[in-house]
């Protein structure tokens, strides 16, 4: 039971942090095109590494 309560407390903490970050992002004026391009570039890099099996490491 103690472990369950600890997990619930940690989850509530992360939800509160996520909500705070989401609200601050909504209030800011951000260049979503650049952010989405960067996220897409990283996703494509991971996909190509997975498909080809080539990486620096």
Q: Is residue 56's pLDDT more than 70?
A: no
Listed in sequence order, the DSSP H helices in 1-57 are: 2-27, 32-52
Q: Is residue 57's pLDDT more than 70?
A: no
Q: What is the pTM of this model?
A: 0.49
pLDDT, one tens digit per residue, over 31-53 is 889 889 999 999 999 999 888 88
Q: Where are the domains of the chain?
A: 2-52
Q: What whole-number distance in Å separates Cα of residue 28 and Cα of residue 3?
A: 38
Q: Is residue 55's pLDDT more than 80?
A: no
Q: What whole-number distance in Å separates Cα of residue 10 and Cα of residue 15?
A: 9
Residue 5 confidence (pLDDT): 92
């Amino acid at each position: 039971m103690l472990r369950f309560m600890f997990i619930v407390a940690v989850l509530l903490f992360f939800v509160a942090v996520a909500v705070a970050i989401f609200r601050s992002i909504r209030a800011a004026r951000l260049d979503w095109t650049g952010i989405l391009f960067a996220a897409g570039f990283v996703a494509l890099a991971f996909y190509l590494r997975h498909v080809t099996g080539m990486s620096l490491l």
